[in-house]
Structures are given as structure tokens and as C-alpha cells.
């Protein structure tokens, strides 16, 4: 099955896709920003501060999603010895890290008007900070170690250890007393957000997903060209 995803076969798609994804991202982001900043209503308790949710929540969701994918592909590269998997996980990491930083910074900005503080050593916030450190270790490992086999091993271990933190982040608000509110959007039970806020949240999540896809494709193409550059040296 993996042969269908060989870089030589999919490069035709991955090299042409970014311009279309960028175009779609700009359209969806423009609609999302208009909804989030102008059209959506203010909250009866938080007033306009609630609008920070439209960048904070999608960024947090996507950083968690990307780390889960990164761990999955790292396990795949470890088990099946498939180098393409390690290229994919390496290409996913930069956007995941940026989304994690955005979630932390916008969360801190949102915390000031709602909790009265920029930062608290709360279970959810601290576990998100730990995830950012795992992302950082993962990215640094690719920069520090030059031995290909060794770096794949090290980064896989970092990803597998880091993914243990993902369910901790998700359930931290249920397991411990936390300043952070519990989940308002649920897949398997009732969602407590009104449609007028859920729609902009959905659009912004779609825009952020498109951005992470765009960065992934560009980074993946860069990594493939690097491999091909080494191939030219060996000719």
C-alpha cells in the first residue's frame, strides 16, 4: 500500500498543490475574520473578549492534532522502516509548533481580561507548555543530529513520549481543579456554544487547517528536493 505514497509518485501533486491551497486559505481566512471580528455576537459575560476564542481554540486543536499525527508517522517510520514517514512527520512539526505558541500566547492575552492574570500554573496551561517543549525538542533534534538513522530514532522517541501528554491536555480540566473552562464543543455529546459562535469557530478552524496543510506541503517539497540534491551528488 505504501508504494502509492512514494515521493516520486506524489511529488507531481505536492509540488502543484500549494498555490491552490494558498488561494483557498486566503478566501476562507477572509470569511472567518469577518465573521469572528464583526458579525459574531459578543458574549453576555465576557463581552468582546470572547472573540479571542476564534484564534485560540482552533490553534490549540490543530497543535494537538498535528502532534498526534506526528507521533503516528514516527511510530510508522520506526516499525515499517519507511523513510517517507519520517519526512512527513518532520514536515508537520513547524506548523504544529507555531500553532502551539499561538494557543499559549492568545490564551495568555485572553486570561488577563477574564481571569485577571496573564499566566497561571494551571493543569491545562502547563500541559500545553510541556507540549510546546516537546515540539521544540523534536525540531532541535533534527537540527542537532546529522546521522540520519540516529535522528529518526531520537525524534521518534520524543514524539512517542510527547503524545502521552495529549490525553493529559484533553482531560486535564476534568481531572484537576482548573481555571480553564471545560470543553464547550463536543463530538459525542451536546455542544454548549450557540450556532452564531460555532459557525465562525468552524470557519476559522478550516482556515487554520488549510494553513497547516500549506506549510506541510511546502516543507515536504523542500525536504524532498534536499534528498534529490544529495542524489545528484551521488551520480
Partner 1 sequence: MINEIISMNGYGSYVWSAFSFTLISFASLYFVTKLQLVKEQSRFASKFGTLNVEKARVARSQNINKEILSNTSNI
| Pattern 17-56, partner 1, x by CB under 8 A | ----------------x--xxx---x----xxx-xx--xx
H-type helices in 164-235, by residue range? 165-175, 195-234
Interactions with partner 1, residue window 113-142 (CB under 8 A): 113
Smallest gap from residue 33 Cβ to partner 1 (A): 8
- Quick check: 100 and 63 in contact, CB under 8 A? yes
Smallest gap from residue 25 Cβ to partner 1 (A): 9
CA distances from 133 to 28, 48, 49, 138, 140 (A): 31, 31, 28, 8, 10
Report the alpha-carbon distance of residue 208 to residue 215 in Å, rounded: 11
Smallest gap from residue 185 Cβ to partner 1 (A): 19
Closest CA to 32 of 57, 3, 4: 57
Q: Which stretch binds partner 1 (CB under 8 A): 73-81, 93-101, 138-146, 151-159?
A: 93-101
Q: Which stretch binds partner 1 (CB under 8 A): 64-72, 98-106, 136-144, 153-161?
A: 98-106
- Quick check: 111 and 118 in contact, CB under 8 A? yes
Helix, strand, or coil here: 143? helix
- The angle formed by the CA atoms of residues 15, 16 and 20, to the nearest 5 degrees, is 130
Residue choice 31, 101, 151, 157 for contact with partner 1 (CB under 8 A)? 101
The contact set with partner 1 (CB under 8 A) reads 7-8, 11-12, 15, 33, 36-38, 42, 47-49, 51-52, 55-56, 59, 94-95, 98, 101-102, 105-106, 109-110, 112-113, 211, 214-215, 218-219, 221-222, 224-226, 228-229, 231-233, 235
Amino acid at each position: 500500500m505504501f508504494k502509492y505514497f512514494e515521493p516520486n509518485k506524489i511529488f507531481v501533486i505536492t509540488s502543484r498543490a500549494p498555490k491552490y491551497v494558498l488561494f483557498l486559505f486566503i478566501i476562507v481566512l477572509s470569511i472567518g475574520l469577518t465573521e469572528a471580528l464583526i458579525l459574531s455576537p459578543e458574549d453576555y459575560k465576557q463581552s468582546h473578549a470572547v472573540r479571542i476564542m476564534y484564534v485560540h481554540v482552533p490553534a490549540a486543536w490543530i497543535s494537538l492534532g498535528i502532534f498526534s499525527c506526528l507521533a503516528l508517522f514516527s511510530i510508522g517510520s520506526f516499525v515499517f522502516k519507511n523513510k517517507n514517514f519520517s519526512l512527513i512527520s518532520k514536515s508537520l512539526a513547524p506548523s504544529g509548533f507555531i500553532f502551539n505558541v499561538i494557543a499559549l500566547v492568545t490564551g495568555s492575552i485572553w486570561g488577563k481580561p477574564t481571569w485577571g492574570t496573564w499566566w497561571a500554573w494551571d493543569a491545562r496551561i502547563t500541559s500545553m507548555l510541556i507540549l510546546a517543549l516537546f515540539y521544540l525538542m523534536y525540531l532541535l533534534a533534527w537540527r542537532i543530529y546529522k546521522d540520519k538513522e540516529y535522528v529518526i530514532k531520537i525524534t521518534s522517541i520524543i514524539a512517542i513520549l510527547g503524545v502521552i501528554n495529549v490525553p493529559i491536555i484533553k482531560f486535564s480540566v476534568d481531572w484537576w481543579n482548573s481555571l480553564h473552562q471545560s470543553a464547550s464543543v463536543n463530538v459525542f455529546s451536546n455542544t454548549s456554544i450557540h450556532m452564531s459562535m460555532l459557525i465562525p469557530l468552524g470557519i476559522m478552524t478550516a482556515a487554520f487547517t488549510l494553513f497547516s496543510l500549506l506549510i506541510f506541503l511546502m516543507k515536504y517539497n523542500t525536504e524532498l528536493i534536499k534528498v534529490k540534491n544529495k542524489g545528484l551528488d551521488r551520480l
